[in-house]
Each structure stands twice: as C-alpha cells, then as structure tokens.
Structure 1
Amino acid sequence: MRRLLWLTAAALLAAGCSAAPGGEAAADKQPAPRPLGGVLHHTAAEAAALHRAEEREVRECMASRGFEYSAVPVGDGVRRRAAGNPYGLLTRAVAAQDGYGLTVERLQRHPADPNAQRVSALAEGDRRGWEAALKGTRDGPREEIELPDGPTVSVPTDACATVARRALYGASWDRDRYTVHSLADTIVRETLGHTLVRAAEREWAACMRDEGYRYEHRKDPLEELEKRLDTAGSDPAALRTNGREELRIAVRDAACQVEAGLAEQVSRAQEQVEKALPPARTSRLEEFRAAREGALRRAGARAASTT
C-alpha cells in the first residue's frame, strides 16, 4: 500500500516536476547549508553502515554477559533522514518524492525489534537482567555531561548500548556528541532568527500566497498537514488524498524557497552566526570530527570482514 500510494502520488506530479526551470534544477544540485560544515550529517549509506557496526558491537557486549541479542535491522527512514535539513530546506527532487515526509512516516512500518518476542518470553528476573545489560541500571556507574545551553545528561557507562558506541566511536564520544549537538541547535536557532533569513521567509510567504496558499511561516503547511493526517487516521482513501496534497504543497514550497533565495540567505546568516561563536564553544569539534571519521573507517572495515 505504501509503495503504491507514493508511486501514484508522484505520478500525478510528474509533469510539473520534469519541467523544472533551470535555476531550480541547479539549486537541487547545491549542498544544503548545515551547521558546522555538516559534521553531524551522514549519507544514507554512512548511517546504515554505522548502525550495523554499532549493532554488532551491542551483540558482542551482550554475549560477553551471557545474553543473546539480535541486531536490529536498518529502517526505511534512513534515506529520508539523510535528505532532511535542520533548516527545513527542500529541493524539488525530495519534495516530489516524499513531500515533507509526513504521510509516508505515518504509513511506514518501522522494523520490528527481533529481540522483543524472545525477551518477553523470559522469566521476570532474566528479563530485567537482559534489559539492565543493554540499557544500564539506575544505580549503576554513570557519566554526567553538563551542556552549555541545556540540562545535564546522565549516561549509564555500564550499558551495552554505551559500550558499543564507545567501541565504535571512542571513549569521549558521548560527551563530544551531546556537546556538538547542543552547539548545532544553538546555531540553527540563531540562524533562523537572523534578519537575512526572516526577510527571505517573508518573500517565501508572498510566493506561496501567489500559489494560492496563505501561509505566514514555513511551519504552517506542516502543521496543517499534520492536522489532516490526524483526521484521516488509518483510512486509506483519506491518506492517499492527504499524500497527494502534501506532494503538491511541498513542490510549490521548494520552488518558492528557490525564488526567495532562502538557502543562500540561510548560508550567509549561518556563516555570520558561526563566526561569532567563542572558541570555547567549538573546542570539542575537531575531536568529534575525528571520532566520526574513525567510526566510519571501522564500520567499513567490519563490513568488509563479514562479506
């Protein structure tokens, strides 16, 4: 049903998408701006490789503690997450295929946890032991990570999930990861509030009004479509109608973003925001980047050794 819905919906827009003006087609080929040079972004292939490598590490850790663990498969959402953008920027190619990803997310069947049935069949004490080995215990050893602009994060260091991450990425990974994510969130928030971006968004809203959509903010179409999805529930016909409308709106949204020069203004604003960052805020960036690249190499090596 999901595949049929999106093939049908995409076909309804095929004529409009194939006739994209040259400027919009060129814009689709440009890398979307992302905080910190895209250090937090992975391609779909990279994300899948890292997931598989981390799951192998979890399985080995659990086995060392006497528990059976089956690797959770890579989900269908990896491609869409890789194509996503923290600023909500769209290309016509992504918009025509997935819209905003809202309807397809509702229709998507997330991969089942292959451990669920086996663990549910365990005696209560064994089940608690299995879950404690995987996730850690409340009174077990923990690392407290204080974020500059957020709460303190508590990480159970004896959990196999943590052991696996650190085996793949390195011992300081959790602290580096939370710190860099917090920094990126700050950059996105300040960039979206920048005068350059707000001016471009006003132009976007005017463009959308010319297309027949009276939106003031870029979140407006997403909120409208979410309400429609809630109303549609699980009704196939309503979901199909909502999917077609989502694709129509998203394709027009992407075109108006190009017309307003939104991606260019986000890039300019982001550059100014990042230049104003104090050195203390970026002190873990290089360590994070090195750990990320090292994990990708190890994931590739592990994959090659099992083929």
Structure 2
Amino acid sequence: MATQASPTATPTLSSTSSVTLPVEDYLLKNDEHAEMLYASKLLVRQCMARFGFDYAVEPGGKSPVDPKGDAANMARRYGVSDAPTAARYGYHLPADAVPAPPAGAQPMSDAARDVFLGDTPRADGGGQLVKQYQGQRIPAHGCSGEAERKLGRGLDERLPEGINDASFQQSMATPQVTGAFRSWSACMRKSGYSFSTPLEPLRSRLPASPSASEIHMAESDVACKRKTNLVGIWFAVESAVQKSLIDKNQEALTQERSTARQTLARSAKVIAAGASS
C-alpha cells in the first residue's frame, strides 16, 4: 500500500549535495559497510586456512571506490543534478567514482568452495551440501557462515533498504512529483530533448568518454531541474514518504541499527587483532 506524502516544506535545491534522506540514519555508511566486509574476510581467511586453503584479502581492507557514493545514491538519485559534474562528465560517472578493476583473484577450486559454503544450499540448485573435508568437520554454512556468526547480522539491512526502494517508487507516483516531471519535460523540449522523466537519460548507452552533445544535454537537464525545482520537490516528497514508513517500522529499524553497531564493534576487534598478529 502506498504511503501518502505530505511534505511540510519544499526546499529550493540545485543539487542533492547538501541533503540526506531520513532512511540514511538506518543504512550503513560506506566506511561501516567496508569495515564489516573486511572483518568478515579476515575471519573467512582464518577459517579457510584451517582446511589448508588460501583466501586472499587485500592488505588494509582496501576496496574499490563505491560509485554510489552513499547508501541512498544521493548524487544520482534524481538523475544528474550537479552543474559542474554535468559540464565535465555529462552523464558519465566522475573519474574518481569509477571502481577500479578487481585485483587478479583466482577463482576458488571446487574443494575450496565446498569449505567456504559448507551445507549452504547453492543458488543454482547444484553441487553437494558438504559437511566434512578430509575428515575435518566444516562449520555450519561453511567458513562464510562461521564469519557471520562471529560478527553478527549487522550487514543485513533488508528493512531500511526496502524503505529506501519503496519510497523512491512511491514518490514517483505522487501528483507533486509527476507534476514536476511534466514541467521538467516541457523545459527539456525547448532545448530539443524528449524525455518523460529525468531517469530516462541515465538509461542511454554511453560511449567510452563524454561527447560534446552528451554534455550539452546533461547541462540542459540540470538547468531544467533548477528552473522547475524538481530536485527540491522530489526530495521533499520522498522524505515525507520515508518518515511515514519509518514511523510504522521504528522499533524494527532501531533493532537493526543496534545489531549493526554490535557487528561494527566486533569487526573493529577482528581488524585490530589481525593488525597485531
């Protein structure tokens, strides 16, 4: 069931750089997510070593830059909205937001995968559910399951992620936002472009580097967003939707965040132990 959105105020926004959505209080921040993943990998490596397998973990937990920038993808949530970025990159991601190619990690052997997954059902329905390797008992759900049990379920964000997704979809169906889309679309037509929503240009296939025509279209897009205050309207409506959804799920959200904090504390201890060993 859709949530009624009644924003109390609508800010005038030229970009999303200065605002955050209410659900971001319950979503893991990038550095938190990276810390949990790194600690998990360290624990998996320790477990795999007991069975004679190497499990590569990048030194210091370094990982590719997250192109989304934040859990709610604010930089591009409502399409391109930052004028300097549009003028330089068009609809392409900025150079520092493109993830680096993964280091040449070798694929797991079948035996290593069995130890990693143990008796976890395989997504493709294939493979055997293994409980032992060379006479040694594999932990429940393999080394990945052992790591999760030691850290806790802090990476499980199904409820806040569900709110994050639902609010986006519901906001696009509100009269305020569909009206803003029409105004933006009319503005774009004056520049020679035909789009119904500001998400459509993001779905175009892009060449390797921004062309002059792409940059011009992106600049027109941003200018029309500013002229119609599309970003401010959309942000205000979606914030209202999220607040309503958060109110309905406050107890469960608070519990999930508490679980995440516990996992973060355990992760910090694992990383500290790894650094001192």
Quickly name the TM-score band, shorter chain normalised.
Answer: 0.5 to 0.7
5+ residue gaps, structure 1, are 1-22, 120-126, 142-155, 230-238
Can you list the C-alpha shifts for 1:201-239, whole angstroms capped at 9, x where unaligned?
Answer: 222222323333222222321233x1x54xxxxxxxxx2
Give the Å deviation of 1:28: 5.4
Distance in 2 of aligned mates of 1:157 and 1:246:
52
Corresponding residue of 2:163: 183
Matched, 1:67 2:53: yes
Give the Å deviation of 1:190: 0.9
Instruction: Report the secondary structure of 1:63's partner residue.
Output: helix
Distance in 2 of aligned mates of 1:88 and 1:51:
28
Give the Å deviation of 1:31: 1.7
Can you list the C-alpha shifts for 1:243-265, whole angstroms capped at 9, x where unaligned?
Answer: 55544433433333233222322
Distance in 2 of aligned mates of 1:178 and 1:74:
25
Matched, 1:81 2:49: no
Note the 1:194-213 alignment, pairs <5 A: 194-213=174-193
Per the normalisation by structure 1, the TM-score is 0.62
Distance in 2 of aligned mates of 1:38 and 1:128:
40
Corresponding residue of 1:270: 238
Number of corresponding residues: 242
Change (3 A) 1:214 1:252: same
Query: Are 1:87 and 1:192, in contact at CA under 8 Å, matched by a contact in 2?
Result: no
**Over the residues paired in the alignment, what is the CA RMSD in angstroms?**
3.8
Distance in 2 of aligned mates of 1:204 and 1:157:
54
Corresponding residue of 1:31: 19
Corresponding residue of 2:29: 42
Query: Are 1:99 and 1:246, in contact at CA under 8 Å, matched by a contact in 2?
Result: yes
Higher relative contact order (CA 8 A, sep 6+): 2
Matched, 1:250 2:232: no
Note the 1:133-148 alignment, pairs <5 A: 133-136=115-118, 137-138=120-121, 140=129
Change (3 A) 1:264 1:252: same
AA aligned to 1:274 is: Q
Corresponding residue of 1:131: 113
Per the normalisation by structure 2, the TM-score is 0.67
Instruction: Point out the structure with the larger helix share.
Output: 1
Query: Are 1:208 and 1:256, in contact at CA under 8 Å, matched by a contact in 2?
Result: yes
Instruction: Report the secondary structure of 1:82's partner residue.
Output: coil
Give the Å deviation of 1:81: 1.7
Note the 1:221-240 alignment, pairs <5 A: 221-224=201-204, 226=205, 228-229=206-207, 239-240=208-209
Query: Are 2:23 and 2:246, in contact at CA under 8 Å, matched by a contact in 1?
Result: no
Change (3 A) 1:111 1:294: same
Corresponding residue of 1:293: 261
Give the Å deviation of 1:70: 0.4
5+ residue gaps, structure 2, are 1-12, 122-127, 131-138
AA aligned to 1:39 is: Y
Distance in 1 of aligned mates of 2:36 and 2:86:
27
Distance in 1 of aligned mates of 2:55 and 2:239:
45
Give the Å deviation of 1:162: 4.0
Change (3 A) 1:302 1:223: same
Query: Are 1:135 and 1:159, in contact at CA under 8 Å, matched by a contact in 2?
Result: yes
Instruction: Report the secondary structure of 1:284's partner residue.
Output: helix
Matched, 1:284 2:252: yes
Distance in 2 of aligned mates of 1:57 and 1:277:
36
Give the Å deviation of 1:131: 0.8
Distance in 2 of aligned mates of 1:166 and 1:92:
46
Distance in 1 of aligned mates of 2:42 and 2:253:
27
Give the Å deviation of 1:130: 0.7
Distance in 1 of aligned mates of 2:51 and 2:160:
32
